Amino acid sequence: MSGGKLIVVPTPVGNLGDMTPRALEVLKEVSVVLAEDTRTTGKLLRHFGVETPLKAFHQHNEHRALEGVVDQLRAGMAFALCSDAGTPGISDPGFLLVRACVDAGIDVLCLPGATAFVPALVTSGLPCDRFYFEGFLPHKKGRQKRLTALLEMPCTVVLYESPHRVAKLLDQLDDLGAGQRIVALSREISKLHEETLRGTVLELQAHLASHPPRGEYVVVLGAAD
């Protein structure tokens, strides 16, 4: 692969069969794979027989590493960027590097591929012709204010939530008067125990009270009336 270029490579959110032949070809041809976690991406590369060198690039070092990566790309190297799962830049590190490359006139390409919220949105049964992607909410400061604003959205809203906070999220929605709002909870997308629950906030509150949450969740919230 010739010429300086950054290629954003989505990786499976669960089932390794979702890895595309084109993504594997890119990972084999680039000079370096930038990884959110070299251990996670290393396992993926070994599974597919990819021997390209790995370099850590994550939220704790991306500011520090940015200049050096851009300099290498300017010098003609081709890098791939991977997150632990899904498409880099979508609630994962990547935006800062993409922006720096665009500003520096370096070619940036993003392969189509896995991301968790799209299958969750499509299978929710809620309208997906227009939607708002929020990603992760603040854990504490500003969380309730943000939720209040999202409840006023005239379109479907998509959130990411951890298993430790998803029940709290439903409780907060109920406290804000949205107990009858339709919601879908998707977890373990493309994995063996994939599951989507649909119902009102109150109904899913009751379900989680007797079925402890497991796995990362995509929360799809119905629009305001």
CATH topology (fold) of 5-110? Cobalt-precorrin-4 Transmethylase; domain 1 (3.40.1010)
Encoding tokens for residue 3? 């010429």
Domain regions of the chain by residue span: 5-110, 117-221
Q: How many CA atoms lie within 13 A of 106 on its CB side?
A: 27
Q: Is the pTM of this model over 0.75?
A: yes
Burial class (CB in 10 A: 0-12, 13-18, 19+), 180: exposed
Given this model, what pLDDT does residue 3 score? 65
Given this model, what pLDDT does residue 93 score? 85
Q: How many helices (H) and strands (E) does the chain have?
A: 8, 10
Neighbours of 47 (CB within 10 A): 10
Given this model, what pLDDT does residue 159 score? 97
Class of domain 117-221 (CATH, top level): alpha beta
Encoding tokens for residue 47? 């599974």
Given this model, what pLDDT does residue 225 score? 79
Q: Is 176 helix (H, G, I), strand (E, B) or coil?
A: coil
| 66-85 pLDDT, tens digit each | 889 999 999 999 999 999 99
Given this model, what pLDDT does residue 209 score? 93
Q: Is 166 helix (H, G, I), strand (E, B) or coil?
A: helix
Q: Is 144 helix (H, G, I), strand (E, B) or coil?
A: helix
Neighbours of 78 (CB within 10 A): 20
**Spans in the chain with pLDDT lower than 70:** 1-3
